[in-house]
């Protein structure tokens, strides 16, 4: 997933952007456990995979998260994308009601 590396801080200009910490990183499958990193671009988490060219090729990886397709790729063709009803709900701590996925996890 290239999104944790965008925009790059060390390429051409500094965008002064930082992702929210901590990062909860799954190296492979969810059942394999996770690592929590409190610093952006930590090499114990997704920072070990930073490569602009490879990231550009794998933009599509961002639509699959925790073994679920997210956004419109995760909808049936007969459904209309919506911000309501079964989606991400900040009042539930970010839990996705329809999938039962918890939390403040980074993609």
The predicted-structure confidence for 18-58, as pLDDT tens digits, reads as follows 777 888 888 877 888 899 999 877 889 888 877 767 777 77
10 part of a folded domain: yes
Whether the pTM exceeds 0.75: the reply is no
Give the CA distances from residue 39 to residues 18, 23, 46, 58, 85, in Å, rounded to whole numbers and listed in that order.
10, 8, 11, 23, 34
Q: Which domain holds residue 22?
A: 3-92
100 part of a folded domain: no
- Provide the pLDDT for residue 91: 47
- Provide the pLDDT for residue 53: 74
List, in order, residues 6 or more apart from 52 with CB less than 8 Å away.
5, 8, 11
104 part of a folded domain: no
As for how many domains the chain has, the answer is 1
Average pLDDT, the chain: 67
Residue 89 has pLDDT above 60, yes or no: no
- Out of 14-23, 57-66, 86-95, the most confident range is 14-23
18 part of a folded domain: yes
85 part of a folded domain: yes
Smallest CA-to-CA distance from 106 within 13, 41, 53, 15 is with 41
25 part of a folded domain: yes
């Amino acid at each position: 997933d290239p999104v944790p590396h965008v925009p790059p801080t060390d390429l051409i200009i500094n965008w002064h952007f930082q992702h929210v910490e901590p990062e909860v990183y799954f190296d492979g499958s969810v059942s394999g456990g996770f690592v929590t990193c409190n610093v952006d671009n930590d090499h114990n988490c997704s920072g070990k995979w930073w490569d602009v060219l490879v990231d550009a090729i794998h933009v599509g990886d961002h639509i699959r998260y925790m073994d679920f397709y997210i956004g419109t790729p995760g909808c049936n063709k007969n459904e209309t994308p919506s911000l309501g009803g079964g989606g991400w709900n900040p009042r539930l701590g970010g839990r996705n009601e329809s999938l039962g996925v918890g939390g403040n996890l980074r993609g």
